[in-house]
Structure 1
C-alpha cells in the first residue's frame, strides 16, 4: 500500500494504522467482540498513520520468526481496559530486522516522529481540564505544582525498577501539604516523551518537572533524578542527584532523592510527611508494583475496581510476606466489603475473617500499628459496640497523641456514640496533623462533617478535590446532600442525577442500612431528608411509587408466609434465579445465583405490616423491614405473585396455595 501511494500527492495518500492483539473473542453471527477485539482496537488508536502497534502476546509469538524489528513502548493505558497494555511498535525498515529497541532510550526521536501525537496529547489534556464538572474549578494559587515524569529505564531489565520508582515518587509527593502534584494519569501520558517547558499545557499550572533514569545491574540499582523550574522563561535545572544501592534497598535510595528534591523546592515537612518520604515499605520492587496498582483500584471509588484490588494485594504479600502496607491495604479492602455488604465481590463474613487475620498479622509484627488498631475500632463501630470502640480509640490516642489516623478513628467513634463536640475536635486535630489527604480520606472526612451538620467544611473538602482524584460516586452523593441542606435544590438535584446515573439502583432503603452504626437515629433522619429533597428514591428504581394499594397488610402476610402456601418459583434482582428457605423457627436461608452456591443465612419475622430480615452477611445483621406487594394482574385464587422490596432490589415470588 505504501509503495503504491508514494507517487500520489501527500494529501491524497491513504495511510493505514494497524493494531494487532492475540486474545479470546466471542463470535455472535456476523459480529465479534470481547477483550481480544477491544485491545486490538485500542492499539490501532495508539498507532501513528502508516505504523503497526502490537501487544505483548503477539510479540512473544512472533519475535525471532519474522524479518522485523520492534520498539518496546512499555505499558500503555487505554480507554475501557483496566490494566495497561504492554505495547510494541513494529519497525518496518529492513535495516532494523531482528532488533529490539527500548523506546525510552531514544526519547527525543519519539518526539520527532510523534510530533502530531504530542500536539494531540496537549490538546487532550487541555480539553480535559476545561471539561471538568462545575464543582471542580481549576486553581492557579496555592503551593507550587510538581509534574513527576515516568523514569526512563536504561534497558528492558530496568523497566520494572523504573516503574516501581515512579509509582513511589508520585505517591509520596502527593501526600505533601506544601506541594501540589499533577495527577498520576497526567504523568503517565508523558511516558517515553522528552518534555520541554514549552510542551506543558498552561492549564496544568506546573512549576517543577522531575524526571530521571533507572539502571538495574546485577544486584544493584542506580537512580538519577533532576528537577527543573519552568516558571520563568528557561528550563533551569535547580537540583540533580544520583543515588546507588543494592536492589533490595531501592526505597532507601528513593528516600534520599525525595528529601533532596523536597529541599530544592523549599517545601517544609511535618513529622508525618517526613516519615512518608523516608519510608522503606518493602525490599521487593515487584511486590511494590502490585501494591501500587491495588491501592489505585481500592481508592478509585469504583465497586468493580475494589474486587480487582484483592488479588493484587495477595500477590504483593506473597512476594514479600513482611510488607506491612500490603497487609493493611488487604485488611482495609476486606473491611470495606464486609461493612458495605458487597457479597457480589466476596462473601462478607469471609471478608471479615480475612480482615481480622490481616490485623492479627500486622499487630504481631508492629504492635502499635495505627491502621490495624484503627480497623479494630472501626469493626466495633460497625457492630454498634460504641463504648468498646470509644475506650480503645481513646487509649490509642493517649499512647500515640500525634498519630493523625488515630485522631480520625476517635472522631468516628465519638460520632457513632453521639459525642458530637468531641468528634468535631478530633476531626479538626486529624486535619492539622495529617499529610495531604487522598481521595478516600477526603471522602470519609467530608461525610463525617455532613453528619455533624458542618456543611461548609464538607463542601470545602469536596470542592478542593480535583476530578482526576475524586471518588465520583461518593462525591456526587455528598454534594447532593450538602446543597440540599443549604436549600440549593437545583444544585442538589444536578448532583443527584449524576449519582443515580452511576448507581441507578441506589435508594434510601439501601443507605438506611449503613446508619445502624450510629446511636442517634436523628443522623439518618437529617441525611434522608436532604437526599429525598435532592431526588433519591425511597426504594430501588422507585419500585414502590404509586403501589400503596397493592401493599399487603399484617394478616395477609401471616397467611402468605405460613404452611398454607408453598413457594414454587422465585426470581431475584437483575433477573437471576433466587430462592429462600424459611423455617417456622424463624431461620432463613437465601440462595442467590450470583453467590455461586454460598447461601446467606439469617432470621425472619413479621413485624406489623412488614416482612423483616436479619442476616450477618448483609448490613452487619441490622434488621431490614420490607414492604410486600401483590401483583393483582398475575395472581389467581390458587397462585399469588408478590414482590418483596429489599434495599438492593425487588425479589419476585410465586406462591401456590397447598391447603385451606
Structure 2
C-alpha cells in the first residue's frame, strides 16, 4: 500500500446512533474513584460490549463516563439498548444504591459524517440530547426511530411530544420506552449462538531493525514494546507478553506456526528503519489459522512525528481485528505524554539497557529522559520502580532510606501527569509495595486492573500486592492466571509467582519457581534458601545462602522483605526462613 495519509476521508451515511451515559458519574468518582472505574469497566466488559457485538453494532468511542455506538439497523440498536438496560438492572439488583452503575440511553436515526473511525453531525448531537432526557435506567427515542420499529419490536412507549433540544434548530419528537415491559423481538433479530472466544489472542513479534546499524536496535525494540502495551489496553484483546515473543528475536521463524504455538489467532510482524530525519515502519498481520497475510501497511514519517507513527500502527492493527473497538486516534495518548523525541529516545535506551542487565546505563538514560521532560510520566514511573528494586538488588550507592525516598518521590511525580495510564499506575503500585506503602499499592494496583484487566503485567503486580497484604488466595490466583498465558516467563513474573506461593505456604511450588531460572539474580538464591529452610532441608538452605555474592547484603534484603508484609505472621515467615538458612538478621 502507498504512504499513509494523515487525513482520513470523509463520508456521509444514514445510521442509528446510541449514546449512553452513567447517571451521577461525577458524584460516584468523588466518593470512590477506583470503585467507580472498576464498576464501569466491568459493565462495559460483561454487558455492553458483548451485546453490541451480538447485535452487529460498533462502539465508536468511549466518552469517559459513557459510550457512542453506531448501528446499521435501527431495530438492532433499540433491541441492544433494551437488553443493556435489563442486564444492568439485574447486575445492580444485589448492590447498594451508591455502587450501582446506571445508564441513560438516547437513540436517533439520522445522517452522520464519518471521518476515520469517528462520527459527527446533527444525527449524533440529537442522540446525545435525547440521552439527557431519559430517566435513569431508561431509553429515549427520536420520532424517526419510533417510526422504524413499529411492528418489529413490541415494547411500551410514552409520547413525550415535540421537544426543543439545545443547539438543534427544529423541535424533535421524542418517546420514552418502557424497558421493564415485554420486548418480543422480530425473527430477524434472532442471532446464532456466539461460538467465538471471549477475546482474540495476539502476539507481537520483535520488530526488525532495518537500519543496518546495531546501535539502532533499541529503537525497534522500543516500538515493539509500545505496540504491545497499547494493544494490551483493549479488553477485546489478550496480548502475549513481549518477553515471550522476544525469545525469538533475530531468529528465522514461520509467523503462523509460531502464532499457533502461542495459541494466538493473529501474529504481528514488522520492521523499523531510521534514516536521517525519517523513520519508516512496516507492519503485517498474519492469520495463524490460514497462514495468510491479511494486512500490510507502511508508515513513513519525519522523526519528530514518531508518536503519530506508533498510534497509526496500533490503530491499523486494531481496525483489522474488531470493527467495534474504540479508535486509538480518538483518545488522548496517555502512554507517551511527552512531545520530546529526545526524552522518548532516552526512555527507550533505558529499557534496552535494563533488559540487557546494564543497570548503570539504564539509570543514566532514565534520568536523562526525566531531565529533558520533567513531566514524562512513564520515565518517572520507571525511575520510581527502579529505585525501589535497587533497594533489594544492587550494591548501594545511596543509603537504603535515600533510595526509598527517591522511589516514592518519583512515583508521586509520575502520578501528577500519568494517573490514567495503566503502565504508570502499575509501576508506582509496585514501587509503593516495595517501599512498604501498602495502602497506596492497593489503591493504584486496583485502579490499573480496572482500567486494563487483561494486561498480564497489571495482573501480576496486583497479585503481588494482594499477597503481601495478606490476601494470599486472591493474589496467587491472579498471578497464576497471568503466568498461564505465557510459555516463557520473564524473571519478574517468576519472582512474583515464587513470592505468592511462599506467602501462601506452598513452599515446594515456591522453590520450583525460584529454581526455574538458569542464571538467577542473587535474591532468587536467597529466597530458595528460605524455601528449603521452611521445608526442613536446613543444610541445603545454608549451602544456598552461602553462595551469595560478597557484595550482596542478605540481612538488609531480609529486613526489607519483612517490612513490606502487612501481617506480622508473614514478616515472621520470611525472617524465620532466612534466619534458619544462616542469614544473620
What TM-score, normalized to structure 2? 0.47
Name the larger-Rg structure: 1
- With a CA cutoff of 8 Å and minimum separation of 6, indicate the structure with the bigger relative contact order: 2
TM-score (norm 1): 0.42
